[in-house]
Structure 1
Amino acid sequence: MDIYKPLVALLAMVNPIGVIPFFIAFTQEFDRAQRKQTIRVAAFTCFCVIGLSALLGLKLIEFFGISIASFQVGGGTLLLINALQMLNAKPAESGAVTSDGAGANIAVVPLAIPLLTGPATISTMVIYAQKTTQWWHQAVLVGYGVVVAAFVWLCFSAAGKIAKVMGGTGINIMTRLMGLILAALAVELLQSGLTEMFPVLGITKFR
């Protein structure tokens, strides 16, 4: 397993810079302490989603009798859908989001789930966890959850400054760039899953 690919995929998919406008909108009425608490909870939730997906996701799909090839195709499709959303300058994992959650903690929903992490993130971690051959590979995947959480914390902590420097146009450009990277990774996952399901697709003839 290429040990760096999961981190690239996670950073492209989570893309907290693209979620900064939502963070600012949802926390504009918060005081400084409430905003800091929201940042900590959102970052920790992202770590939990990534870490638990790496450790337990494979056992769950085995329990339901789902093949890895099918999961790769499904996960790759979800990644591609999210990538297409990002290429249109929409945050990955977005969909219908409301901020009037009747007392729900916006740090968990909708910021951490689904704006930052969601089905595509879980699928990606399960797929890469299946490819691990050493126990420390899995530990590295969990460690990447720490890296992503730290990145989320840094971006949200500097949300005001980043928004001023980048502006709406800059954030859109960054979101589209991350979407392009994610699309390439999605195609790789789809190709791998389809080739395993239909070996004939992996046969290339040269004339």
Structure 2
Amino acid sequence: MDGVGYFIYSFIKLFVIVSPITGVITFITLTDGLSRSEKNLIAKKSVTLAFVIALFFLFTGTIILDILGISLDSLKVAGGILLLMVAFDMTHAKISKQNITDKEIDAAYKREDIWIFPIAMPILTGPGTITTAIVLTETAEVVQQKFLIILALILTYSIAMVTFLFSRRIHKKMGYNGMLVLTRLFGLFLGAISVSMVASGIWGIYLSLNSL
């Protein structure tokens, strides 16, 4: 796979899993009643923190796996199953309980640091995003590919930033039903990615067992 192809491959995976457009409804709900400047500040802080968290695991994922004694294939299976559960909820246009529960959203109304939880994490950077960042880095064959993953991550969260800053306008243009349709579509793509991840992990575990 050439450089452009690998960048597109990495970006699509990250963008579908981060899925900033599906977090718009939650963002609008949590920031209801705030001024425009306050909403923009929360958007900038939350997206920046989410990017930093994802970047942290992208660089330290290998070390963490080694410390915990977790194989990449095991992570693929576990992460893939988790993503499949998230995708199932998305195809039904629901907020995934694997990322955040209704009780946690209700509790967030009373918090002043909603830009940290639940917006930055787990809405923008959840277990699925962390798993994908680690898997992409671990499977990158050359340094150039790792650099392309970082660029894909930057582009993903840049789009997330724009999406959140203009969340009200996007919601007004698309409407609630339009947002739900897009959420279901992203859920379908995410389901396909998760199945591929689980299959790859199971195959890798099978090969490693046969080599013993």
With the length of structure 2 as denominator, give the TM-score of the two structures: 0.87
Q: Is 1:98 aligned with 2:105?
A: yes
How far apart, in 1, do the equivalents of 2:151 and 2:188 lie?
25
Residue 205 (structure 1) aligns with: none
- Tell me the amino acid that sits aligned with residue 10 of structure 1: L
Secondary structure at the counterpart of residue 140 of structure 2: coil
Q: Which among 63, 67, 70 is matched to residue 63 of structure 1?
A: 67
- Within 2, Cα distance between the matches of 1:42 and 1:178? 22
Structure 2 gaps, min length 5: none
CA contact (8 A) 1:85 1:91 kept: yes
1:5 CA displacement: 2.5
Matching residue's letter, 1:40 = K
- The aligned amino acid for 1:14 is V
The CA deviation at 1:103 is: 3.9
For 2:29 and 2:152, the matched residues in 1 are separated by 28
Give the structure 2 partner of residue 50 of structure 1: 54
> Structure 1, residues 3-37: CA drift from partner, whole Å, max 9, x if none?
43231121112212111111111112211221111
Cα pair 1:51 1:141 within 8 Å, conserved: no
Alignment of 1:63-142 (within 5 A): 63-91=67-95, 94-96=99-101, 97-101=104-108, 103-142=111-150
Q: Which residue is equivalent to 1:144?
A: 152
Q: Which residue of 1 aligns with 2:8?
A: 4
Residue 74 of structure 1 deviates from its aligned partner by 0.8
- In the alignment, the residues of structure 1 paired with residue 152 and residue 66 of structure 2 have an alpha-carbon distance, to the nearest angstrom, of 23
The residue matched to 1:33 in structure 2 has which SS? helix
Aligned residues: 200
For 2:55 and 2:147, how far apart are their aligned partners in 1? 9
Q: 2:190 aligns with which of 148, 157, 182?
A: 182
Larger helix percent: 2
Residues 7, 152 of structure 2: 8 Å contact kept: no
Match of 1:198 in 2: 206
Q: Is the 8 A contact 1:91 1:175 kept in 2?
A: no
**In 2, are the aligned partners of 1:99 and 1:110 still within 8 Å (CA)?**
no
Among all aligned residue pairs of Structure 1 and Structure 2, give the percentage whose two residues are the same amino acid.
Answer: 26
Could you tell me which amino acid in structure 1 is paired with residue 105 of structure 2?
Answer: T
**2:27 equivalent to 1:20:** no
- Distance in 2 between residues matched to 1:104 and 1:30, nearest whole Å: 12
Please, what is the CA RMSD of the aligned residues? Answer: 1.8
C-alpha change, 1:91 and 1:14, in structure 2 (3 Å) is farther
Of 29, 34, 41 in structure 2, the residue corresponding to residue 30 of structure 1 is 34
3-state SS of paired residue (1:4): helix
Deviates more, 1:147-156 or 1:101-110: 101-110
Distance in 1 of aligned mates of 2:185 and 2:114: 27
- Structure 1 residues 147-186: aligned runs within 5 Å: 147-186=155-194
TM-score calculated relative to the size of structure 1: 0.89
Query: 1:103 and 1:138 mapped to 2: Cα distance?
Result: 37
Q: Give SS of 1:98's match.
A: helix
Q: Judging changes above 3 Å, is the alpha-carbon distance between structure 1 residues 70 and 134 closer, same or farther for their aligned structure 2 residues?
A: same
Structure 1 unpaired stretches of 5+: 201-207
